[in-house]
Amino acid sequence: MIYDSMLILAIWMLGTAALLPITGGEAIEGAWMPLYQLYLLALTFMFFAGFWLRGGQTLGMKAWRLHVERNDGQPLALKDAVRRFVAAIPAILPFGLGLFWCLIDRDRLAWHDRLSQTRIVFRPERR
């Protein structure tokens, strides 16, 4: 998560820089703030969904040989990625409680895994 968080931060910075010509270099505030936040959320979704749909793993997951897949072992489709991303929001909000849930869950699933019917699997290196 730390690796992907650093990448997301960089994407947010680039995405915000892309808006500077429109704002005249000024900070986005006031009535535009909710639209800006939606923009950042959309960039975040595109990051995760793009990686999940292409190979089942983000760059951070790749470092640890982790893959996301549906419970039936199939790769995620767009609707699965949407469901997983939306379900991750309530999992993160209460101080990450939904993420840490996997430590006590019998199947080692976080809230968003259960809600989206997906799972993270470890795949060792092939030789």
- The gap from C-alpha 96 to its chain's centroid, in whole angstroms, comes to 13
List of residues 6+ apart from 70 with CB closer than 8 A: 76, 80, 117, 118, 119
In a domain, 43, yes or no: yes
Global pTM reads 0.90
pLDDT at position 1: 86
In a domain, 97, yes or no: yes
Q: What is the DSSP letter of 57?
A: -
pLDDT above 80 (res 125): no
In a domain, 53, yes or no: yes
Whether 115 contacts 87, CB under 8 Å:
yes
In a domain, 127, yes or no: no
Q: Give the total number of structural domains in the chain.
A: 1
| Domain region containing 43 | 2-122
pLDDT at position 127: 60
| Residue 120: φ, ψ to 5° | -100, 130
In a domain, 98, yes or no: yes
In a domain, 85, yes or no: yes
In a domain, 118, yes or no: yes
In a domain, 34, yes or no: yes
Chain segment 42-82, per-residue pLDDT in tens: 999 999 999 999 999 999 999 999 999 999 999 999 999 99
Chain segment 92-105, per-residue pLDDT in tens: 988 889 999 999 99
